[in-house]
């Protein structure tokens, strides 16, 4: 079995790292808040908590990241005690964070210069997918590197999409997030309209999930909203960040996507309203 590192063991990364451990790999975990890394390794499960990303990288043939935003990835890779400081010759870095495609191209160039290999590998499927190992991985990078990562990815997810060269995984993830964000707006406005019309919300949820209005967002987040459950499966601030990246990309390319712009405006408004550390479904609070 292989020696791998997992950096960032939050809502997504925690269960992902646990699947690698369960598959029998020697897993070194690191998290900014150490207690979250320790929680991945129950007594007797094996594995090790590293003191820093550099420490985690030492001896690892594959290093997974699942952190927050672009500056977090850059800091974990190249900051003080970053991955680059402990990188083994030919080690493969796999970034599962959702960040800007151009930043991944830059990260890949620096890791390659340091003697390593790089894939961007954002995921979709939510916390549920991470816990149940049913995530989809969206890969940017070279085919040979993907083949090295494949056994690890298969322990954490169900489907693997090779979108193209480094950065392409993040590009295709943008498309995915655009859809997720608009579905979230649809859910929130549907609930607001249902309440304004004085209709039964449980019945409305049953109807909407039975026909042409059906979506993953309506099923999963709709169910949470029925019970006023705003706990984070996916943090609203990360959805806002993902959409900021997609909006910037669309504007740079000069394409007009008013639905995307609307989700950007709504999610930024939600962050300004202090909802960033709640689950994405807390967007509904803007409509109350």
Structure token pair of residue 229 = 């459950």
Q: Is 173 an annotated catalytic residue? A: yes
Q: How far is the CB of 200 from its own copies (least distance, A)?
A: 8
Q: How many C-beta atoms surround the C-beta of residue 121 within 10 A?
A: 31
Q: How far is the CB of 82 from its own copies (least distance, A)?
A: 29
- Reduced to 3 states (helix: H, G, I; strand: E, B; else coil), residue 119 is strand
- Reduced to 3 states (helix: H, G, I; strand: E, B; else coil), residue 236 is helix
- Phi (first) and psi of residue 211, to 5 degrees: -140, -140
- Reduced to 3 states (helix: H, G, I; strand: E, B; else coil), residue 92 is strand
Nearer to its own copies, 161 or 230 (CB): 161
Q: How far is the CB of 33 from its own copies (least distance, A)?
A: 26
What gap in Å lies between CA 52 and CA 30, rounded to an integer?
Answer: 7
> How many Å separate Cα 63 from the centre of its chain?
16
Nearer to its own copies, 25 or 266 (CB): 266
What gap in Å lies between CA 114 and CA 129, rounded to an integer?
Answer: 33
Q: How far is the CB of 37 from its own copies (least distance, A)?
A: 26
Nearer to its own copies, 126 or 276 (CB): 126
Q: For residue 258, what are the contacts with CB-CB under 8 A and spacing of at least 6?
A: none
Nearer to its own copies, 45 or 269 (CB): 269
Nearer to its own copies, 109 or 175 (CB): 175
On the CB side of 196, how many CA atoms lie within 13 Å of its CA? 8
Look at the alpha carbons of 12, 13, 16, 18 in this order and tell me if their dihedral is positive or negative: negative
Catalytic, out of 173, 224, 237, 241: 173
Q: How far is the CB of 54 from its own copies (least distance, A)?
A: 33
Q: Name the site residues for its own copies (rule: CB under 8 A).
A: 124-126, 129, 135-136, 138, 158-159, 161, 163-164, 168, 171-172, 174-176, 178-180, 182-183, 185-190, 192-194, 196-197, 199-200, 203-204, 206-208, 210-218, 220, 246, 249-250, 253, 255, 257-260, 262, 265-266, 287
Asked if residues 279 and 224 have their Cβ atoms less than 8 Å apart, the reply is yes
> How many Å separate Cα 92 from the centre of its chain?
19
- Residues designated catalytic: 173
């Amino acid at each position: 079995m292989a020696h791998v590192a997992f950096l960032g063991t939050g809502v997504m990364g925690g269960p992902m790292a646990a699947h690698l451990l369960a598959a029998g790999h020697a897993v070194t975990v690191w998290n900014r808040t150490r207690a979250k890394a320790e929680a991945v390794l129950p007594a007797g499960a094996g594995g090790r908590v590293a003191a820093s990303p550099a420490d985690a990288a030492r001896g690892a043939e594959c290093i997974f990241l699942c952190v927050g935003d672009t500056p977090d990835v850059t800091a974990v890779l190249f900051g003080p005690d970053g991955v680059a400081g402990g990188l083994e010759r030919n080690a493969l870095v796999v970034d599962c964070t959702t960040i800007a495609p151009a930043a991944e191209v830059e990260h890949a160039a620096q890791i390659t210069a340091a003697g390593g290999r790089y894939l961007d590998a954002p995921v979709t499927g939510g916390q549920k997918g991470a816990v149940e190992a049913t995530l989809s991985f969206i890969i940017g990078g070279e085919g040979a590197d993907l083949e090295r990562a494949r056994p690890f990815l298969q322990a954490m997810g169900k489907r693997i999409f090779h979108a193209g060269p480094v950065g392409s995984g993040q590009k295709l993830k943008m498309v995915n997030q655009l859809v997720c964000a608009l579905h979230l707006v649809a859910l929130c406005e549907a609930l607001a309209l249902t309440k304004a019309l004085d209709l039964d919300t449980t019945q409305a949820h049953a109807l909407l999930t039975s026909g042409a209005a059906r979506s993953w967002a309506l099923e999963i987040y709709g169910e949470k909203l029925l019970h006023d459950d705003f706990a984070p499966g996916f943090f609203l601030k990360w959805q806002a960040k993902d959409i900021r990246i997609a909006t910037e990309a669309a504007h740079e390319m000069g394409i007009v996507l008013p639905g995307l712009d609307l989700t950007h405006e709504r999610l930024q408004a939600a962050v300004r309203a202090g909802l960033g550390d709640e689950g994405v479904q807390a967007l509904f609070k803007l409509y109350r």
